[in-house]
Amino acid sequence: MRLDELRLKISTLYTQGWTQTAIAEKLEMSQQNVCKHLKKSKDLWREGSIRRINHFIEEQLKKLDLLEKTAWEEWENSKKAEVTKRLTTNNKHKLEKGEITTRDQCGDARYLAEINKCIVRRCALLGLDEVPYLIEDPEDEEADVATPDDARSAYDSILDTLRKRAGSNGLAELN
C-alpha cells in the first residue's frame, strides 16, 4: 500500500471512531506509527485548508480592488462638468440655433459610499476591522488614534458638506 493510501485508510478509520490501537491492530503496525500518520495527515489537511482559504481571500481582494478602482473612476467622472447641447431647427429641419451649457458637478457621493464599503470589506477579509488607525501623521508619536466611530463621524461630515454644496448648486439631493 502506498503512503498516501495508507494515510487515507488510517484517517478514514479514525474519523469513523476507531481508536489508534484498533487501527494499529487492523493494519498490523504500531500505535506510534498510526499516531505519526494521523499527525502528518492533519498537518497536510491544515496546510491545504490554509492554501484554499488564502486563495479565496486573494480572489475576493482582487474583486474588491476592481470594484474600488471602478468606483474611484466613476467618482472622478461624476465631478466633471455636465455639458448640454440644445439644437433648434426650423420646420425644414435646418439648424436655426445651437446652445451649449455647462454645469459644474460636485460628485456623486454614492461612489464614495461604495468605496467605503470596499475598504470595510477588505479590512474584514484581512482581519483589520478592529484595528484603530491614525488620523494624523503615523510618524508623530502624539498623533490621535481614531476609532471606527471617529471614522464614521468624519465620513458623515464629508457627506454633509457634499450635500450642502449640491444644494447650493441646485443639484439633486445626495443620498
- Walk along the chain (175 residues) and give the pLDDT tens digit of each residue: 798 899 989 999 999 999 999 999 999 999 999 999 999 998 888 888 888 888 998 999 999 999 999 999 999 999 888 888 877 777 777 767 778 788 888 888 899 889 988 988 888 888 776 545 444 454 556 655 556 666 667 667 776 766 666 565 444 444 4
For helices 31-78 and 3-15, the axis angle rounded to 10 degrees is 90
C-alpha cell, 6: 495508507
User: Can you tell me the distance from the alpha carbon of 31 to that of 115, in angstroms, rounded to the nearest whole number?
Assistant: 56
| Whether 125 contacts 118, CB under 8 Å | no
Q: Give me the phi and psi of 30, to 5 degrees please.
A: -80, 155
- Please, which residues have CB within 8 angstroms of residue 85's CB and are 6 or more apart in sequence? 98, 99, 100
Q: Please give the pLDDT value at position 100.
A: 79
> Tell me, what DSSP letter sits at residue 95?
E
> % helix / strand / coil in the chain, to the nearest 5?
60, 10, 25
What is the CA 52 to chain-centroid distance, rounded? 18
Residue 175 lies in a domain: no
For residue 9, the enclosing domain spans 3-131
Number of domains in the chain: 1
Q: Looking at residue 150, what is its pLDDT?
A: 67
169 is a domain residue: no
> At a CB cut-off of 8 Å and minimum separation 6, what does 135 contact?
143, 144, 145, 146, 150
Length of the chain equals: 175
In a domain, 159, yes or no: no
Distance CA 33, CA 43 (A): 15
97: in domain: yes
What's this model's pTM, rounded to 2 decimal places? 0.49
Q: Rounded CA gap, 33 and 20, in Å?
A: 9
Number of CB atoms found within 10 A of residue 141's CB: 6
Q: Is 137 contained in some domain?
A: no
